Amino acid sequence: MTGPTRILCVDFGSTFTKAALVDVSTGELVATGSRRTTIGTDLMEALDLLRADLATVTGEEPTWPVRACSSAGGGLRIAVVGNERLVTVEAGERVATSSGGRVVHVAAGVLDPAAAIAMAATAPDLVLLAGGTDGGNTAVLRANARALAAAPSTAPVVVAGNAACGAEVAGVLADAGVAAVVTDNVLPRIGVVCPDPARAAIREMFVRHVIGGKHLSRREEFARFVVGATPDLVLRGVEVLARACNVPGVVVVDVGGATTDVHSVVEPDPEDAGLGREVVATLPVSRTVEGDLGLRWNAPEIVRAAVKAGLLDEAGEAGTGPDVTTLRAEAERRKEDPGYVATEQADLDVDIRLAELAVKLALRRHAGRSQVVTGPAGPTVDRAGKDLRAVGLLVGSGGLLRHVDPVVARRVVATGLAGAGGHGRMVPERPELAVDRDYVLAAVGLLAPDHPGAAAALAARLAQAVRPETGTPPSPVRGPAR
């Protein structure tokens, strides 16, 4: 191949910046490293340190091309505006979430001045404007474009509504000085969701307007390196992993300090098409963000949600590990000190239990539900949401799972899955388990467009580690532990 054979894939996270040096001629993971994200000064300072670390390890000059993603500075905040809450707004919200954004505001119907002010108060980085099926209602979409043009928020807008007036709507916004791009309708007809064009447009807007607008770095190369939001690139990596594994589906649960994200790639079963009653189809490739399930910033919410769901008992605990009183106190301590790192086994046990609960709760929320309902024609099966029961691979990710013993990390995932399927939740039934200890999924997503072979080989490396009889590939050369 021509050009560089090694590319440095970087994820600028809110807490840590991670790097993976990949040989794109073979897909080999050459070296990895992490440094605390220098959010208080300039994000490129963390990258400078990582380059020096990896140069020391490899003995090479740190002149590798860089390809990066970012969730620093709060990630990508999206407001969704559409016609009806259960139709175009629902479709827009699903697409926005799968695009790597956190949905911070949802508005249905015509935006009046008060509604526009309420949306602006949530400080979205981007607005996804949907509304109407193709050839259907245009009045609400036109009215909302005028409202956004006059709104106090100047966030860029992705127009993904009725194709009949997309160009007109973009013109109204542009005339008001609002950056706008038109893409295909997220809901061209009832029951059909078209996510990919909107995902691409959101990615473009994130790189062109949001990254620079957050002022995360004074150096021009930062905006040039970043090609998308981290969750969007990870989800793309999960798609590559699903193809590399050749299994019915893949689910990745990423347990972080602020949120727990679930990514899934599952091909819907055509035989199930008549079982659901949704007017907005479930996406085969999707992501959910649980903003109340974080091991640091939102640790107390994990305990509260677990008690409410019956996973913890006020009188003791449904399971093993620290009791509820201990968990509550320790969770509050972690919220007060988000940078806290457990060094004693008792403290680590608390983190492990919180992670198990976060995995269980996040899987329950991401999965669809199956139930038997009785109607005039007798009992029928009603399924709503995503059916994950046949998923062949469940992968755990996140800082805690990368740093604890591999056996413990797999046990966290297994314990989180156990019992998650209560109340008809269609969670994975017999998946194989893996942990993304080298954090390769972001790198896979970054490399997939231009180096699909290397991306597939890197994903296969993770897939190979699933089966103990194949042997776990040797760990790559790493930079200094951070």
Rounded average pLDDT over 124-148: 94
Q: Tens digit of pLDDT for each residue in 41-71?
A: 999 999 999 999 999 999 999 999 999 999 8
Give the number of other Cβ atoms within 10 Å of residue 125's Cβ.
Answer: 25
Rounded average pLDDT over 364-369: 91
Long-range contacts of 57-65 (CB under 8 A, 24+ apart): 57/31, 57/33, 57/477, 57/478, 57/479, 58/21, 58/30, 58/31, 58/477, 60/6, 64/4, 64/6, 64/7, 64/8, 64/21, 65/4, 65/7, 65/8
User: At a CB cut-off of 8 Å and minimum separation 6, what does 449 contact?
Assistant: none
Q: Looking at residue 253, what is its pLDDT?
A: 96
Nearest to 252 by CA among 407, 19, 243, 242: 242
> Would you place residue 329 in the very low, low, confident or very high pLDDT band (cuts 50, 70, 90)?
very high
pLDDT higher than threshold 50 for residue 480? no
Q: Looking at residue 75, what is its pLDDT?
A: 78
Q: How far is CA 65 from the centre of its chain?
A: 25
Q: What is the dihedral of CA 122, 156, 102, 217, to 10 degrees?
A: -100
CA dist list (Å): 169 to 118, 133, 183: 22, 15, 12
Angstrom distance (rounded) from CA 183 to CA 185:
7
Nearest to 54 by CA among 69, 71, 35: 35
- Is 219 exposed, middle or buried, given 0-12, 13-18 or 19+ CB atoms closer than 10 A? middle
289: phi > 0 → left, psi -120 to 50 → alpha, else beta; which?
beta
Winning range, highest mean pLDDT, from 226-230, 265-269, 421-425: 226-230
pLDDT higher than threshold 60 for residue 435? yes
Tokens at 225, concatenated: 């390196």
Q: Looking at residue 477, what is its pLDDT?
A: 44
Q: Looking at residue 462, what is its pLDDT?
A: 84
Q: Given strand 76-82, what is the order of strands in its sheet?
A: 101-108, 76-82, 126-129, 157-159, 180-182
Rounded average pLDDT over 2-29: 89
Q: How far is CA 406 from the centre of its chain?
A: 23
- Is 165 exposed, middle or buried, given 0-12, 13-18 or 19+ CB atoms closer than 10 A? buried
The residue ranges of every structural domain in the chain are 74-213, 230-437
Q: Looking at residue 313, what is its pLDDT?
A: 79
In DSSP terms, 7 is beta-bridged to 22
> Would you place residue 161 in the very low, low, confident or very high pLDDT band (cuts 50, 70, 90)?
very high
pLDDT higher than threshold 50 for residue 277? no
Degrees, nearest 5: CA angle 239-203-154: 150
User: At a CB cut-off of 8 Å and minimum separation 6, what does 305 contact?
Assistant: 292, 293, 357, 361
> Would you place residue 482 in the very low, low, confident or very high pLDDT band (cuts 50, 70, 90)?
very low
> Would you place residue 278 in the very low, low, confident or very high pLDDT band (cuts 50, 70, 90)?
low
b/e for 397-427, b at 16 or more Cβ within 10 A? bbbbbbbbeeeebbbbbebbbeebbeeebbb
> Would you place residue 381 in the very low, low, confident or very high pLDDT band (cuts 50, 70, 90)?
low
Rounded average pLDDT over 63-82: 90
User: At a CB cut-off of 8 Å and minimum separation 6, what does 237 contact?
Assistant: 440, 441, 442, 443, 444, 445, 446, 448, 455, 459
Give the number of other Cβ atoms within 10 Å of residue 430's Cβ.
Answer: 9
Q: Which CATH class name applies to 74-213?
A: alpha beta
Q: Looking at residue 280, what is its pLDDT?
A: 62
Q: Looking at residue 339, what is its pLDDT?
A: 78
- Is 366 exposed, middle or buried, given 0-12, 13-18 or 19+ CB atoms closer than 10 A? buried
465: phi > 0 → left, psi -120 to 50 → alpha, else beta; which?
alpha
Amino acid at 57: V
Amino acid at 209: H
pLDDT higher than threshold 60 for residue 127? yes
What is the rounded radius of gyration, in angstroms, for the C-alpha atoms of the chain?
A: 23
Average confidence score pLDDT of the chain: 87
Quote the DSSP letter at residue 135.
T
Q: Looking at residue 478, what is its pLDDT?
A: 46
Q: Looking at residue 42, what is its pLDDT?
A: 93
Rounded average pLDDT over 215-242: 92
